[in-house]
Structure 1
């Protein structure tokens, strides 16, 4: 992917790594396949993207890497059971802090955003279980709304701008206040 960007544009200053799958299951019934697939996409994939981006950015002495984690990295969401997802996103946050402190003295910052519940096609699909969860999430979020993708843009713009020159390893939670309660 990085090679394609470099081929098309000649340089890479910003990397946005947004990967995530979730499979719901009771922890005692989470299969090895489910665990491994979730870690491969949500954590390993993000790491390998960061690594590939940083190899180029570190040579240039400048870069901004933004990973997408989740509020599920810092809280246990309920009632859905998602041990693999929560664990993988907690890994993304800690990996972001680790890479952010490792590379910052060479001009590359690494930060992440942790969205709360976000209004997606899956949530709006009309599936009864999703509609019930959506209602619960709306009631439990202080702003009484789910995020739109546009609600997340400001945080990403900040982290990729010169305003964030002294920011690295940050987990910017953007959840409508959900984790405050």
Structure 2
């Protein structure tokens, strides 16, 4: 049972963070936060599969991280919006790697659109990745986890799951991320006998999604953050203080490896906010 007390509970703490012997799959792992999650998992000793859809350089990225870390890192093309496609990719990873311990449902998109201007297509495009994509990834992973009796699902949500960002208009993004985070809590309860499920909710992270915005908007965002800076994506990949679930990036606390490792064996159903204090005021 995933929440049973592990045999490693008395091991030195840094040993508990090791992912050696584990296989991790990261959707949307070819860029931004996903790329750093892949790197962090491999640096911690895991073999890692990443999925991508449009990034033609994903196989090269996987090879580069593999060379740098000495771990097996491989790219698989998959569309998380397509239930059968993502399920097929997850099954291939489990078969090719021989096991599947952790799945990170990370793929996501964001569009700034007035709520009065959405069409069926633009509304569905966001939800199909941010919400449906999480569900289809979770479903495929959950079937494997249930069959083997253990597993670990980590969902990339957003600080937008708990607040409304300004000045941009992104109702569908906010709503889809809130839905994804609550889906994670629901699955944590339903899957308690065979898997842990947690969400990570980053604030403003220095990816292309952020840097492509006008400087005036970026400056307004930064002024709203007590830390007065955005986070580097690498700050999300690693570990965090086990006693803190509202994390300040000014202290360079990090998370995904923690949730994937045996250092977090009693953590399930959490939505961990990493926002430099943005959501506090």
TM-score range, shorter chain: over 0.9
1:107 is paired with a residue whose SS is: coil
Deviation string 1:123-168 (CA, Å, 9 cap, x unpaired) is 334xxx5322211111111111111111111311111111211111
Deviation string 1:78-111 (CA, Å, 9 cap, x unpaired) is 000001100100000100000011101x230010
Q: Select between 10-19 and 21-30 the one with higher mean Cα deviation.
A: 21-30
Quote the Cα distance in structure 1 between the aligned partners of 2:128 and 2:209. 22
Identify the residue that residue 182 of structure 2 maps to in structure 1. 94
Q: Select between 131-140 and 37-46 the one with higher mean Cα deviation.
A: 131-140
Q: Select between 153-162 and 9-18 the one with higher mean Cα deviation.
A: 153-162
**Structure richer in helix, relative to its length:** 1
Identify the residue that residue 210 of structure 2 maps to in structure 1. 123
Quote the Cα distance in structure 2 between the aligned partners of 1:94 and 1:121. 27
Matched, 1:4 2:88: no
Contact 1:100 1:169 survives alignment (8 Å):
yes
2:189 is paired with a residue whose SS is: helix
Q: TM-score w.r.t. structure 2 length?
A: 0.61
Segments of structure 2 that go 5 or more residues without pairing to the other structure are: 1-88, 240-254
Q: Which runs of 4+ in 1 moved over 6 A?
A: none
Q: Select between 148-157 and 85-94 the one with higher mean Cα deviation.
A: 148-157
2:201 is paired with a residue whose SS is: strand
RMSD: 1.2
Identify the residue that residue 101 of structure 2 maps to in structure 1. 13
Contact 1:116 1:175 survives alignment (8 Å):
yes
Identify the residue that residue 279 of structure 2 maps to in structure 1. 179
Contact 1:123 1:130 survives alignment (8 Å):
no
Quote the Cα distance in structure 1 between the aligned partners of 2:120 and 2:165. 22
Segments of structure 1 that go 5 or more residues without pairing to the other structure are: none
Q: TM-score w.r.t. structure 1 length?
A: 0.94
